[in-house]
Amino acid sequence: MSEVSVTKDAGGPEPATDKLVVLDNINKHFGALHVLQDIDLTIARGEVVVVIGPSGSGKSTLCRTINRLETVDSGSITIDDKPLPEEGRELAKLRADVGMVFQSFNLFAHKTVLENVTLGQTKVRRTDKQTAEQKGRALLDRVGVGNQADKYPAQLSGGQQQRVAIARALAMDPKVMLFDEPTSALDPEMINEVLEVMQQLARDGMTMVVVTHEMGFARSAANRVVFMADGRIVEEATPEQFFSNPRSDRAKDFLSKILHH
Amino acid sequence: MNVLLDNLALFREGFLGTLWLTVVSALLAVVLGLLIAGFRVSPVPPLRIFGTLWVNVLRNTPLTLLFLVAFFVVPKVLFPGVDSFVLAVCACGFYTSSFVAEAVRSGINTVPMGQAEAARAIGMTFTQTMRIVVLPQATRSVIPPLSSIFIALTKNTAVAGAFDNVDLFNIQKTLSNDGYDIAVIFIWITLGYLVITYAINGLFRLLEKGLEVAR
Domain segments of chain A: what residues? Answer: 19-259
Domain locations in chain B as residue ranges: 2-213
Q: Answer yes or no: is pLDDT of B198 > 80.
A: yes
Residue range B2-213 in CATH 1.10.3720.10: yes
Is residue A7 within 8 A of residue A44, CB to CB? The reply is yes
Q: A175, A207 in Cβ contact below 8 A?
A: yes
pLDDT of residue A4: 44
A234 interface with B at CB cutoff 8 Å = no
pLDDT of B1 reads 52
Average pLDDT over residues B41-46: 92
- The partner residue sitting opposite B121, judged by closest CB among A95, A104, A123, is A95
For chains A and B, count residue pairs whose Cβ atoms are closer than 8 Å: 72
Q: State mean pLDDT over B185-209.
A: 93
Per the document, the length of chain A is 261
Q: Tens digits of per-residue pLDDT, A136-164?
A: 999 999 999 999 999 999 999 999 999 99
Q: Minimal Cα–Cα distance from B134 to chain A, Å?
A: 9
pLDDT at B181: 87
pLDDT reported for residue B212: 73
Query: How many angstroms away from the CA of A119 is the closest CA of chain B?
Result: 9
The residues that bridge with B79 in the sheet, in sequence order, are none
Instruction: Give the pLDDT score at A157.
Output: 95
Whole-prediction pTM: 0.85
The pLDDT of residue A89 is 87
- Which chain B positions have a beta carbon within 8 Å of A165's beta carbon? 118
Evaluate whether ipTM surpasses 0.95: no
Q: Is A110 on the interface with B (CB under 8 A)?
A: yes
Dihedral pair phi/psi, residue B73, rounded to 5°: -100, -50
> How is residue B82 annotated by DSSP?
-
Q: What is the pLDDT of residue A100?
A: 96
Residues of B at the A interface (Cβ-Cβ below 8 Å)?
43-44, 112, 114-115, 117-126, 128, 132-133, 136-137, 214-215
Tell me if chain B has a CB within 8 Å of the CB of A172.
yes
Mutation target among A123, A135, A151, A178 for the B interface, most CBs of B within 10 A: A123
**A19-259 adopts what CATH topology?**
Rossmann fold (3.40.50)
**Quick one: what percent of chain A has pLDDT higher than 70?**
93
pLDDT confidence tier of residue B20, bands split at 50, 70 and 90: very high
For the ranges A44-58, A80-94, A183-197, the lowest mean pLDDT is seen at A80-94
CA distances from A201 to A191, A196, B62, B138, B181 (A): 16, 9, 62, 35, 83
Nearest-CB residue to B120 (from A95, A152, A165): A95
Distance between CA atoms of residues B171 and B177, nearest Å: 10
